[in-house]
Copies of this chain bind each other. A is one copy, B any other.
């Protein structure tokens, strides 16, 4: 059987995890890695095709866009125009539907598939929320994140003058509310209290319970673990108090990379177009044929 030829664009945390997931998938082959820096190649990529442009790779079926989220729209469009299917983990919730619609017409025109927001949230959590709504059409769903690092909040703290490095941890308080634990490593000569005040007044933090601590080294706190708990109490028909919950405790980039790789499989199976994960038959994410998976899982 012909293997799915996958390229990885970007080699940060998620790109590295995606590479491991591709190499662990017997139905895929890694065509190459596209990155800006092709001079200094990390040791583990010595036997790998590392290139500066996707044009240097041949017969790519699917490109995994492991790039910063804001670069996704432009890069996905450019790849789809070459007829290369894409998978991304675009995570700005308010922009997902319009990104999907923009990429839809490009993908259809070029006979390619684009799977957008294929991470765990948005992504597999979205599938869980969708399924929970199908089981209980009325009710409230709470998505409680953490403990785990919030990249958005961390970046907001790092942007403050006097901050050498920072980490913002998200702690779940239940019912969709979160505490922020902020760890700050200061540059020489800056006042902690002034920095702390700026953090507390920042839009990212001022609506949440926030605790700021000064530490000597943020690097020593590094941990890519994350968790989520999706809870719904809802109504099936006219029957109340149907209780549903989905919980994960995971290595964040490893899960994101794996979801993207599983979606690469769907990308070669679906009709041309752009899809979010709730639009994909779940069995399309798995290796093997449909009947084999029905026998094993249904």
Q: Residues of A with Cβ closer than 8 Å to B?
A: 17-21, 23-25, 93, 96-97, 100-101, 117, 120, 122, 124, 126-131, 133-137, 235-239, 241-251, 254-255, 257-259, 261-262, 276-283, 285-287, 290-291, 293-295, 297-298
Contact across chains for A287 and B137 when beta carbons are under 8 A apart: yes
Contact across chains for A278 and B294 when beta carbons are under 8 A apart: yes
| SS of A interface (majority) | helix
A242: contacting residue among B137, B242, B251, B285, CB under 8 A: B251
Using Cβ atoms and an 8 Å threshold, which residues of chain B touch A23? 237
In the complex with contacts A120-B135, A134-B262, A258-B137, A251-B239 CB distance below 8 A:
yes
Closest B residue by C-beta to A245? B247
Instruction: Count identical subunits in the complex.
Output: 2
In the complex with contacts A21-B236, A245-B247, A250-B236, A291-B97 CB distance below 8 A:
yes
Contact across chains for A280 and B279 when beta carbons are under 8 A apart: no
A137 to B127, CA, bound (A): 17
Contact across chains for A298 and B117 when beta carbons are under 8 A apart: yes
A236: contacting residue among B129, B235, B254, B276, CB under 8 A: B254
Using Cβ atoms and an 8 Å threshold, which residues of chain B touch A281? 278-281
In the complex with contacts A258-B236, A290-B279, A127-B135 CB distance below 8 A:
no
Using Cβ atoms and an 8 Å threshold, which residues of chain B touch A280? 281
Contact across chains for A278 and B297 when beta carbons are under 8 A apart: yes
Contact across chains for B133 and A286 when beta carbons are under 8 A apart: yes
Min CB gap A295→B, angstroms: 5
A136: contacting residue among B235, B237, B258, CB under 8 A: B258
Min CB gap A188→B, angstroms: 37
Contact across chains for B17 and A236 when beta carbons are under 8 A apart: yes
Contact across chains for A298 and B282 when beta carbons are under 8 A apart: no
Min CB gap A210→B, angstroms: 28
A24 to B133, CA, bound (A): 14
Min CB gap A78→B, angstroms: 23
Contact across chains for B297 and A133 when beta carbons are under 8 A apart: yes
In the complex with contacts A134-B282, A279-B290, A285-B134, A24-B298 CB distance below 8 A:
no
Contact across chains for B298 and A278 when beta carbons are under 8 A apart: yes
A246 to B65, CA, bound (A): 29
In the complex with contacts A254-B237, A279-B290, A298-B278, A259-B133 CB distance below 8 A:
no
Contact across chains for A244 and B244 when beta carbons are under 8 A apart: no
Using Cβ atoms and an 8 Å threshold, which residues of chain B touch A279? 281, 283, 290, 294
Q: Which of A250, A255, A281 has the most CB of B within 10 A?
A: A281
